[in-house]
């Protein structure tokens, strides 16, 4: 599956480093997205060959990109200039289950608070009914030529 034009218009990430396929739902402080991992993706060749699993760092990246989508929507709603989401902090990452080639994950991010140019968020990933990971993180909105 390729990313929707909406996703491509909101964040600067592009294949092969785009880990969100579609937006499922969104609210004022939440956004839910999905991503299907395909067996042909290059990283599976070297991440446990013969028994591939999706790298945890890429699952985290899917959460961070979903957070960037939420930020882009939020900033546009406030009339803020287009910008670039920058990851500022990662904490409390907990991995619970692996994700295998062929699985579709559901990614949910929630905006907790904004303070001093940073937005604190929490994120989670599920594959079907099983919880895959949870993570807390912060994002800054960088306006080109400006400060966060």
In a domain, 109, yes or no: yes
Describe the strand order of the beta sheet including 118-127 as a list of residue ranges: 22-26, 30-36, 104-115, 118-127, 130-142, 84-95
Residue located via tokens 């937005």: 119
* Catalytic site residue from 13, 38, 47, 74: 47
Q: Prior bond to 105 cis, omega within 30?
A: no
In a domain, 148, yes or no: no
Average pLDDT of the segment spanning 21-26? 97
* Cβ atoms of 97 and 132 closer than 8 Å: yes
Find the domain containing 10 and state its range: 5-142
Instruction: Give pLDDT, residue 146.
Output: 60
pTM, two decimals, is 0.93
In a domain, 11, yes or no: yes
SS (H, E, C) the chain: CCCCHHHHHHCCCCCCCCCCCEEEEECCCEEEEEEECCCCCHHHHCCCCCCCCCCHHHHHHHHHHHHHHHHHHHHHHCCCCCCEEEEEEEEEEEECCCCCCCCEEEEEEEEEEEECCEEEEEEEEEECCEEEEEEEEEEEEECCCCCC
CATH number at residue 121: 3.10.129.10
Average pLDDT of the segment spanning 49-63? 97
Nearest of 97, 98, 103 to residue 39 by alpha carbon: 103
At 125-140, the pLDDT tens digits run: 999 999 999 999 999 9
Q: Is 47 a residue of the active site?
A: yes
Average pLDDT of the segment spanning 12-29? 95
Domains: count for the chain: 1
Pairing type for strands 118-127 and 30-36 reads unpaired
In a domain, 147, yes or no: no
Q: From its phi and psi, is residue 142 left (phi > 0), alpha (psi between -120 and 50) or beta?
A: beta
At 72-92, the pLDDT tens digits run: 988 877 777 778 889 999 999
In a domain, 137, yes or no: yes
User: What's the pLDDT band for 4 if we cut at 50, 70, 90?
Assistant: confident
Instruction: Give pLDDT, residue 147.
Output: 54
């Amino acid at each position: 599956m390729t990313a929707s034009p909406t996703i491509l218009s909101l964040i600067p990430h592009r294949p092969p480093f785009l880990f969100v396929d579609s937006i499922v739902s969104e609210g004022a402080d939440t956004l839910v997205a999905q991503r299907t991992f395909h067996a042909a993706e290059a990283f599976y060749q070297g991440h446990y060959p013969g028994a591939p699993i999706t790298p945890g760092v890429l699952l985290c990246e899917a959460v961070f990109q979903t957070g960037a989508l939420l930020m882009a929507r939020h900033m546009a709603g406030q009339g803020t200039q287009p910008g670039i989401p920058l990851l500022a902090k990662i904490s409390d990452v907990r991995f619970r289950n692996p994700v295998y080639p062929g699985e579709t994950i559901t990614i949910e991010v929630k905006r907790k608070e904004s303070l001093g140019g940073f937005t604190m968020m929490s994120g989670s990933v599920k594959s079907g009914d099983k919880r895959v990971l949870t993570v807390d993180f912060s994002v800054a909105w960088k306006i080109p030529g400006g400060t966060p």
